[in-house]
Amino acid sequence: MGSKIAELLNKTATKIILAIVLGFIAGALALAVAGYDPGTSYSMMFTSIFSSPQNMIQVLILTMPNILTGLSVAFAFKTGLFNIGGEGQYIVGAIAAVMVGGVLNLPPVINVIVIVLVAFVAAGLYGALAGFLKAKFGIHEVITTIMLNWIALYLNNYLVSLPGIGVKNTEYSFPIKQSAWTNVLNGWKTSPHGQAYLSTHPALSTILLGTDINYGIIIAIVVAIAVSFLLYRTTFGYQIRAVGLNKDAAEAAGIRVKKSIVMTMFIAGGLSGLAGALQMTGTLPHALVTLANQPGYGFNGITVALMANSSPIGCIFTALLLSALQFGGSTIQMNLGAPSEVVNIMIGVIVFFVAVASMFTMISERIKRRRVKIAG
């Protein structure tokens, strides 16, 4: 049975890889049309990431929120819900983290755990609100989550403008206490002993002091595995997948469909909120900032989930791909003047071909048929 599942996974994975290859081809065409050499551009994107450890770490830092918002979208998808509210849930998670993290003073590890849990619950409730409106009144979640995104953004800006919260004459709020930061070797690198050590080890120093290197990505990967477990191994996952695949049959079987919808949106919201919280604890300025625009991670999550065909484990890889492409795209723009929109084209093509992956099945059927004919 295990081999069968492996075979299946394999097939989906192959399809996605094929889609990615097609995306790269489309990107190359676009670059060529725009008058840039695709070879040079791609190699620059690639080498820019691997040219320095800082850049690699930068990509990983970008990847963390993308994994979590991707999981948020993918999870909601399983119940047949389209969670466009990642942006707002991310902001609510960040707000909760800063509000709690700015005042709380617990022992280091417990401190972080409490902050993250509070943020998860706050953003979860924010997501659950959309779920509730859907379950109770049938208002479509796409509409409510988009509106909630804007409400969260203005709430954020309002809070930053408040005297007790915002720092006077800046666009920042007060920061999270340093004891709650999730940066690697957070305490040690600022201690006198650590500083002395780092001054003689420049390579390590550029990583630890020159970047926001933090544990977020590890947490995100663990969460992805946990979400996968929740979906495929638990009764709760069974229940929400049943609702997503056939609401009427689930209802007839006594599954509480409305409750499932609210619970799913709670978890989906919590996952996006977690991204916001870990971003606050892990990267500078460790504080809320006045936002002119949505932070973008929630929308990235949609792309990540679509590319991964809503597989939680898949989200880890597609988030990494997306982050690398976005990072690489900005470097070709900077260095070659090539349009970074090429990256958007590539991503669009990948999403498109994942969506029409059944096409690959058809091709494989045809090949199989030909083989049978020759054999017969």
Partner 1 sequence: MQSQQAYAVEMQSIYKYFDDFCALNAVNLKVKKGSIHALLGENGAGKTTLMNVLYGLYKADSGRILINGEQVEMKNPNVAIEHKIGMVHQHFKLVENFTVVQNIMLGKEVSKAGFVLDISRARKQVVELSKTYGLTVDPDAKIEDISVGMQQRVEILKALYRGVEILILDEPTAVLTPQEINELVNIMRNLTEGGKTIIIITHKLKEIKKSSEYCTIIRRGKYIDTVDVKNVTEQQLASMMVGREVNLVVAKTKTNPGDVVFRIDNLTVEDSRKIERVKELSLSVRKGEIVGIAGIDGNGQKELVEAITCLTKVKAGRISINGVDLQNTSPHNVIKNGITTIHEDRHKRGLVLDFPVKYNLILENYNRPRFAGHAILHEQAIHKFAQDSISRYDIRPENCASELARALSGGNQQKVIIARELSDNPELLLAFQPTRGLDVGAIEFIHSALIKHRDSGHSILLISFELDEIMNVSDRICVLYDGRIVAEFQQGEVDENGIGLLMAGGERKNGI
Span of 198-206, 219-227, 251-259, 277-285 interacting with partner 1 by CB under 8 A: 251-259
- How many whole angstroms separate alpha carbon 226 and alpha carbon 223? 5
Single residue of 4, 168, 169, 199 touching partner 1 by CB under 8 A? 4
CA dist., res. 272 & res. 79, Å (int): 17
Q: What is the distance, to the nearest Å, from the Cα of residue 321 to the centroid of all Cα atoms in its chain?
A: 11
* Minimum CB–partner distance for residue 318 and partner 1 (Å): 22
**Contact letters for partner 1, residues 174-193 (x by CB under 8 A):** --------------------
Please name which of 304, 376, 248, 337 lies closest in space to residue 77, comparing C-alpha atoms.
304
Question: Taking the complex as a whole, how short is the minimal distance between the CB of residue 363 and partner 1, in angstroms?
Answer: 14
| Per-position x/- string for 314-353, each x denoting binding to partner 1 as judged by CB under 8 A, each - no binding | ----------------------------------------
- Of 151, 255, 291, 357, the residue at the interface with partner 1 (CB under 8 A) is 255
Query: Cα-Cα-Cα-Cα dihedral of 12, 86, 115, 220, to 10°?
Result: 20
Among 235, 293, 337, 358, binds partner 1 (CB under 8 A): 235
Length reported for the chain: 376
11 contributes a contact to partner 1 by CB under 8 A: no
> Of the candidates 218, 245, 334, 355, which one interacts with partner 1 according to CB under 8 A?
245
Binding part of the chain for partner 1, among 88-96, 97-105, 236-244, 317-325 by CB under 8 A, reads 236-244
Work out whether 236 is an interface residue with partner 1 (CB under 8 A).
yes
For 161-182, letters b (16+ CB in 10 Å) and e give eeeebbeeeebbbbbbbebbbb
Q: Determine the residue type at 249.
A: A
Q: Which is nearer to partner 1, 140 or 368 (CB)?
A: 368
CA atoms of 280 and 174, how far apart (whole Å): 11
Binders of partner 1 in range 40-99 (CB under 8 A): none
357 contacts partner 1 (rule: CB under 8 A): no
Q: Which stretch binds partner 1 (CB under 8 A): 138-146, 227-235, 295-303, 337-345?
A: 227-235
Q: How far is the CB of 293 from partner 1 (least distance, A)?
A: 38
Position among 12, 256, 339, 345 found at the interface with partner 1 (CB under 8 A): 256
**Which is closer to partner 1, CB of 236 or CB of 299?**
236
Query: CB–CB of 337/105 below 8 Å?
Result: no
Sequence-distant (6+) residues with CB within 8 A of 329 are 45, 340, 342, 343
State the residue for tokens 């006045």: 290
* Binding of partner 1 by 238 (CB under 8 A): yes
Binding of partner 1 by 364 (CB under 8 A): no
- Residue 138, interface with partner 1 (CB under 8 A)? no
Min dist CB 236 to partner 1, Å, is: 6
Q: What is the dihedral of CA 298, 302, 305, 308, to 10 degrees?
A: -130
Q: Residue 242 Cβ, how far from partner 1 at the closest point, in Å?
A: 5
Among 173, 214, 228, 239, binds partner 1 (CB under 8 A): 239
The burial class, CB within 10 Å (0-12 / 13-18 / 19+), for 197 is middle
Q: Which is nearer to partner 1, 212 or 251 (CB)?
A: 251
Residues 6+ apart with CB under 8 A from 42: 24, 27, 28
Residue 84 · residue 229 · CB < 8 Å: no
Q: Does 3 bind partner 1 (CB under 8 A)?
A: no
How far is residue 61 from each of residues 2, 258, 355, 362, measured CA to CA in Å?
A: 34, 36, 28, 39
* Shortest separation between residue 369's beta carbon and partner 1, angstroms: 6
Judged by CB under 8 A, does residue 369 bind partner 1? yes
Position of tokens 């946990």?
226
CA angle 236, 241, 245 (to 5 degrees): 155
Binding site for partner 1 (CB under 8 A): 1, 4, 233-236, 238-239, 241-242, 245-246, 248-256, 369, 372-373, 376
